[in-house]
Chain A
Amino acid sequence: MSLDIFKERGTPLDRQSFTWKDMVGEPYSKLDDDAFTRVRQILMHGVEQESCRFKHFAARFNPELRLPLARIRRVEHHQATMVNWLMPGDQSTLETTIGFEQVAIEVTAHVAAVEPDPYMAQIYRFGLLEDFDHLYRYAALMDRLCGKDANNILQSYTDVMPGRPTSVEHRAPEDDLRLHYQKTRAAPLTKIHAALITGSEWQTRDYYLTVGPTFADPIARQLYAEIASIEEQHVTQYEALSDPSETWLEKWLVQEATEVYAYWSCYSQEQNPRIKLIWERFLSYELEHLRLVRELMQKLENRDPAELLPAEFPDPLSFTSHRKFVRETLAAEVDLRARGYDIVPMDQDSPASIAYRAQLNAGGSPSEAVAAGYHWRPGTELTDRRVRDAAFAPLSGQEAAQ
């Protein structure tokens, strides 16, 4: 299955319309739908959010583009709404968080596995192991705070075990910058990957910052604060991958191509027929957005956008379990660290980052406290008799002893 983005016709912009009833439709079922339906929903909301964010910044710097940006952005805002409103009301904030980490793991694993540039691929593998650890910490929080099993959300597609410990993921800003691709030499897929993962991570950062304080529990509030900080680092890392010498229109073109690619991927694998129709509809919208940007580029930059885009997308994003890839990456690279633009062995870790994380963790590490001695088990750790029947030692006595 392939998609020829120059031949496929999209829905004309003036027919890309919504009603409130349309946008606020039936959500997916937390219990019955496949976990990858949720993964696609979360990913696509992140992609649309990134698209709107990019267009707002573009409008601030490009007065001649403000009207076309505003027109397309309005549609994308409503696309983002419709996609995000697929989330059901019985899905708690923490359950959604587990979904966010499943997105970060499975989508980044796919990208890392197929990324043609070896440096970029290493960066994705590096970030992957950090999000992998976040899932383990949030699963421990869900188990130990709520008495709920994260696998009800994950549906056994994704492992729940430590990755690179979150407590050592904190790095000085200079160690989160990465080298960027060269716009004239990079494969179109490399550019799309960078836009896709940047948008996804930014959404995660914003989500954790928004929902973290809605928890009453201090450990939950601490954990969201800690992991939001890593997501800020991840945005710093992934946005650094894009070539800063690309023009605004070049970046816009990459963004629209990313949306076409992502909706096409969703459409090709969705099992829920009602939601598949949404992916099909929005794929058609995005094909038109892409065509409009191509026209603008021809008009304003006098360039042929075909030189920047693939005639056909190679393969869709693979919405499947990447357990084997993740475990192999974990075994080989969990001890790597970042220093400047490079990924280095642990013994070459950056002194600036070592000092930075020592300062942040000086009052205790939330991610270590929440998962101390934690093994995920089917049905929660309380299915382990040793945990269930563990002797209770009064905390005040332990506090005094410390």
Chain B
Amino acid sequence: MNKNDRPTDIGINRTGIALSPLDGPLTAEGASAAPPSSAGSWQDAAMVRLRYAAEASEFGHMPPPATLRGLAKTAKELLKGHKANVLLDKLGERLAFERTGVRLYDGLIVKFEANGSWEGGPTLEELVAFRSDEARHFELMVQALVKLGADPTAMTPSADITAVESLGVLQVISDPRTGLAHALHAQQIAELADVAGWDLLASLSETLGHTELAAECRRALAQENLHAAAVARWLKAHAEVAARGELEQAVAS
């Protein structure tokens, strides 16, 4: 059986309570009759969380400022003050996201080769082209950070957060039991976030006077918009082909 067909086939999923007509009601009745060991609600735990939040320090900071020696005068001016760190943090975020993006497409390409595609689904060439886009965007961010005198190997706070956000996406794409459609569904999260990320970075660069960088970000944004639209189109096509019961034929052909 091809895994692209998995969302719609019927197996022996045992997770629902209806699968246990004798034990299920006993479990529900027992839980309903047993009083909790203390009164209250979910807000009791929320209160503990609130106190921790009040006491918590930051999870990390930006690296120390880069040396300004050797930088062009205009770049020095643009890097003065707090606003520079905001930009460098966001550049670091995009760098990390695009670098991971290359690896996500590596995973999608394996998935494609293992499972094939469907009518209206991606071609190998498209996946390879998108991978190249991500790699170029990564390189763009490396160059931008170097140009601003920053260390492109540092993990900035926003880069760290975005990596934590992406954990589930990577877990789905790298699981050999998931099909290409599952993996693209995960990738859709990454592509939508990427569009929002480039949009923000283009605006921020413009606002801070980095017009050349802003133009490059807008070019990357246009490509990411194409990625997001393509992934959405492939997923819609998959759902429609599956709903018509034509998935197996489509995959076989």
Contacts and interface: CB of A to CB of B under 8 A. Distances in A.
Contacts of B34: 161-162, 375
A153 B26 CA distance: 16
A369 B44 contact: yes
Interface string A104-124: 000000000000000000000
Count class of interface residues, chain B: 35 or more
A26 B175 CA distance: 11
Given A218-B52, A327-B30, A395 B46 contact: yes
A88 interface: yes
Interface stretch (A28-36, A59-67, A235-243): A28-36
B15 A398 contact: no
A277 B51 CA distance: 51
B45 interface: yes
A323 interface: yes
B28 A378 contact: yes
A90 to B, nearest CB: 7
Contacts of A369: 40, 44-45, 47-48
Contacts of A323: 23, 26, 30
A348 interface: no
Interface in A320-375: 321, 323, 327, 364, 366, 368-375
A167 B171 CA distance: 36
A126 B101 CA distance: 52
Contacts, number: 134
Nearest to A398: B47
B31 A371 contact: no
B19 interface: yes
A395 B49 CA distance: 10
A96 B59 CA distance: 27
Interface in B144-171: 171
B20 to A, nearest CB: 4
Main secondary structure of the interface of A (DSSP, over half): loop
A161 B35 CA distance: 8
B42 A32 contact: no
B253 to A, nearest CB: 28
A323 B25 CA distance: 13
A218 B48 contact: yes
B15 to A, nearest CB: 4
Given A35-B14, A156-B17, A161 B23 contact: no
Contacts of B128: none
A155 B45 contact: no
A90 B168 CA distance: 9
B175 A89 contact: yes
A381 B36 CA distance: 13
A377 B15 contact: no
A1 interface: no
Contact of A374 (B11, B14, B36): B36
A375 B50 contact: no
B57 interface: no
Contacts of A319: none
B37 interface: yes
A307 interface: no
B12 interface: yes
A156 B24 contact: yes
A90 B175 contact: yes
Contact of B27 (A152, A156, A395): A156
Contacts of A217: 49
Given A372-B39, A373-B39, A152 B26 contact: no
Contacts of B47: 369, 395, 398-399
A51 interface: no
Given A31-B15, A156-B17, A156-B20, A372 B45 contact: yes
Nearest to A141: B45
Contacts of A379: 17
Interface of B: 11-17, 19-20, 23-24, 26-28, 30-32, 34-52, 171, 174-175, 177
Given A156-B20, A159-B27, 17 more contacts: A89-B174, A89-B175, A90-B177, A133-B37, A152-B15, A155-B15, A161-B30, A167-B37, A370-B45, A371-B36, A371-B37, A373-B36, A373-B44, A375-B31, A376-B31, A381-B42, A387-B42
10 contacts: A26-B177, A144-B45, A160-B27, A218-B48, A371-B37, A371-B38, A372-B36, A375-B31, A377-B32, A378-B28
